[in-house]
């Protein structure tokens, strides 16, 4: 389904019921139709269809019990209403189910007066709730309309501005949380939770490199076999010049599939060159998306298109509503109906992508080296770097073993799920349009990857070995790095990576150039969504609600500027 709203009904929720219409309008303005309204004495649920994928993911059983799935899932090797009934029966009959379900989803199931809700293990499918869990939704904007009082959470505001996501269950507003992940919530008759832990196939400590790549390969191919069966081989997958999308394609090709490919970029970009070579060499259909070709659509009716983006991005978005590099206009104009879209994000679990030395380090140094990369001058008091990074450290430390302020290199791998929290916003956008999956974010892969020795991940050795083992022909195509994955990594690349990896963490903020604004590269295509002439149609920069927290005129980074103005639009929307 494209999304949902859940509301309890009692004396304390009369305010919610009164403002329900505004929350429902959020989905209407996205162009999502109401698929099903389920009403019981204690609650009501509104379930909305995906825009371009017609699948029935709401099933009423025996005229009273029911199960709903929002997002994209498959159970065993199927998806759709029949397998939902099977899942419902497994849940309520006490049978094991969590190890047979995959995807990025929220399941709501009701049986004889009891209601349970859970989302995918790492919580990539977003579900927002108010403080007493009387209202839940896949939309932050919808929950905000159902919350009587809202106050900006300054720490989370800056987390979003700097990085495009939140680092725990807290959100932009103090009164709104993300539904806790990794647990099943019993919402009726009263609220309680119990933890669930997925079982995964561990790598034995005594395995050599070849044995480990075989075991990981078996795990990958089993998953993709189930996925292709569930979606009847109707698959479109991203392709670029790197490791991750190529590993997905290798798995699909190994199974005899010929998926349609897509790539997003600019003319002559390395990613598009690599994608064209692969598509032509393997005779695969490829959609090349040049995002700038759709600028005229935005320029022709700027206010309307920004408003359209605002609702589709749920008010925020990983890079904000004003993201120059978004391909949303293309996806709305040329929908791929009836296919599941795949993306390779998260494949870094199979290589050393942190650029960190293989030794223990101070947590403070890790935080500084990784996150202190912006000019903070635009932040207004009482913001201080010390307080911000100290709170960030506390949040990140919750995902690590208890220590005396030090962290081992292999423990950094435990932060992979946190690294992809921006997927909340990515899934918000794409799950409402089509079925969409990021396979490498599945627990069966992430948890297994913790057992891969760090030294095997250096220079991409382990991941390139997977591609070569699974589909050797694909490994022979050049990558954006200037070499292919069928031969050893060139010596000069190894030297460069070794230097980067061993650069002292405390030096990195001083050596790192602040991220350059993305305005200049866009200007050569004749338009920038963040141009003052267009922004002045929407904003009076002397009267901004976010002025309490930041000085918009001092922001030089276009991603931060886009996110800042998105927050401004959100605050305005909630005042209407």
Q: What percent of the chain has pLDDT over 70?
A: 97
Query: Is the preceding peptide bond at 189 cis, omega within 30 degrees of 0?
Result: yes
- How confident is residue 528, by pLDDT bands cut at 50, 70 and 90? confident
| Whole-number pLDDT of residue 518 | 40
**Residue that is written with structure tokens 């998306």 in the block:** 289
Q: What is the pLDDT of residues 440-477, one digit of tens each?
A: 999 999 999 999 999 999 999 999 999 999 999 999 99
Per the structure block, which two tokens stand in for 214? 């075989």
Q: How confident is the model at residue 515 (pLDDT cuts 50, 70, 90)?
A: very low
Asked whether residue 478 carries a pLDDT value surpassing 50, the answer given is yes
Q: How far is CA 363 from the centre of its chain?
A: 25
Q: Which of 273-287, 398-412, 556-570 has the lowest mean pLDDT?
A: 398-412
Question: What's the whole-model pTM score?
Answer: 0.95
Given a cut of 70, whether residue 493 has pLDDT beyond it is: yes
Mean pLDDT for the stretch of residues 74-85:
93
Indicate whether 30 pLDDT > 70: yes
Strands (E), 220-374: 235-238, 260-265, 286-290, 340-342, 361-362
Number of other CB atoms surrounding residue 113 within 10 Å: 12
pLDDT grade, residue 277 (50/70/90)? very high
Mean pLDDT along residues 283-312: 93
Report the pLDDT value the prediction gives residue 522, as an integer from 0 to 100.
47
Q: What is the mean pLDDT of residues 204-215?
A: 96
pLDDT of residue 507: 86
Q: Which two tokens stand for residue 449?
A: 């990857």
What pLDDT score does 11 carry? 67
Cβ–Cβ under 8 Å, residues 547 and 575? no
Two structure tokens written together for 553? 């005129």
- How high is the pLDDT of residue 170? 97
Give the tens place of pLDDT for each residue, 145-154: 999 899 999 9
Which tokens go with 464?
């390139």
Contact 373, 515 (CB under 8 A): yes
């Amino acid at each position: 389904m494209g999304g949902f709203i859940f509301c309890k009904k009692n004396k304390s929720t009369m305010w919610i019921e009164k403002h329900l219409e505004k929350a429902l309008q959020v989905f209407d303005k996205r162009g999502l139709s109401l698929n099903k309204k389920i009403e019981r004495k204690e609650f009501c649920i509104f379930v909305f269809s995906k825009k371009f994928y017609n699948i029935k993911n709401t099933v009423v059983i025996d005229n009273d019990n029911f199960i709903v799935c929002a997002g994209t899932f498959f159970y065993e090797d199927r998806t759709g209403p029949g397998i939902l009934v099977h899942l419902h029966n497994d849940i309520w009959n006490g049978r094991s189910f969590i190890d047979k379900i995959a995807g990025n989803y929220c399941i709501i199931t009701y049986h004889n007066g009891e209601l349970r809700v859970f989302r995918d293990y790492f919580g990539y499918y977003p579900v927002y709730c108010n403080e007493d869990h009387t209202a839940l939704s896949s939309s932050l904007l919808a929950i905000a309309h159902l919350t009587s009082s809202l106050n900006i959470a300054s720490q989370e505001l800056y987390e979003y501005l700097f990085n495009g996501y939140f680092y725990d269950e807290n959100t932009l507003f103090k009164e709104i949380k993300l539904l806790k992940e990794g647990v099943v919530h019993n919402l009726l008759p009263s609220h309680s939770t119990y933890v669930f832990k997925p079982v995964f196939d561990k790598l034995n400590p005594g395995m050599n490199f070849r044995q480990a790549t075989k075991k990981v390969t078996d795990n990958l191919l089993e998953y993709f076999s189930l996925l292709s069966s569930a979606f009847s081989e109707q698959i479109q997958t991203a392709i670029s010049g790197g490791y991750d999308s190529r590993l997905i394609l290798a798995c699909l090709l190994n199974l005899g599939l010929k998926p349609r490919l897509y790539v997003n970029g600019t003319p002559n970009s390395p990613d598009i060159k690599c994608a064209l070579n692969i598509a032509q060499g393997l005779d695969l259909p490829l959609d090349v998306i040049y995002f700038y070709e759709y600028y005229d659509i935005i320029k022709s009716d700027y206010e309307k298109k920004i408003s359209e983006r605002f609702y589709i991005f749920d008010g925020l978005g990983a890079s904000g509503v004003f993201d120059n590099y978004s391909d949303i206009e293309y996806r709305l104009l040329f929908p791929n109906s009836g296919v599941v879209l795949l993306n390779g994000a998260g494949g870094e679990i199979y290589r050393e992508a942190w650029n960190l030395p293989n030794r223990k380090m101070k947590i403070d140094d890790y935080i500084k080296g990784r996150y202190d990369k912006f000019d903070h001058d635009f932040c207004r008091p009482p913001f201080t770097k010390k307080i911000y990074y100290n709170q960030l450290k506390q949040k990140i430390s919750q995902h690590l073993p208890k220590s005396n302020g030090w962290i081992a290199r292999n423990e950094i791998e435990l932060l992979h799920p946190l690294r992809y929290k921006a997927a909340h916003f990515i899934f918000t956008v794409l799950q409402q349009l089509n079925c969409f999956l990021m396979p490498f974010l599945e627990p069966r892969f992430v948890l297994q990857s913790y057992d891969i020795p760090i030294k095997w991940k250096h220079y991409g050795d382990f991941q390139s070995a997977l591609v070569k083992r699974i589909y050797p022909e694909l490994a022979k195509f050049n990558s954006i790095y200037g070499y292919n994955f069928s031969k050893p990594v060139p010596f000069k690349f190894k030297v460069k990576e070794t230097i980067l990896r061993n650069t002292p963490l405390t030096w990195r903020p001083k050596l790192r150039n602040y991220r350059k604004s993305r305005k200049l590269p866009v200007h050569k295509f004749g338009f920038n969504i963040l141009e003052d002439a267009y922004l002045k149609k929407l904003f009076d920069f002397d009267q901004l609600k976010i002025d309490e927290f930041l000085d918009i005129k001092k922001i030089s980074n276009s991603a931060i500027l886009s996110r800042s103005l998105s927050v401004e639009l959100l605050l305005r929307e909630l005042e209407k």
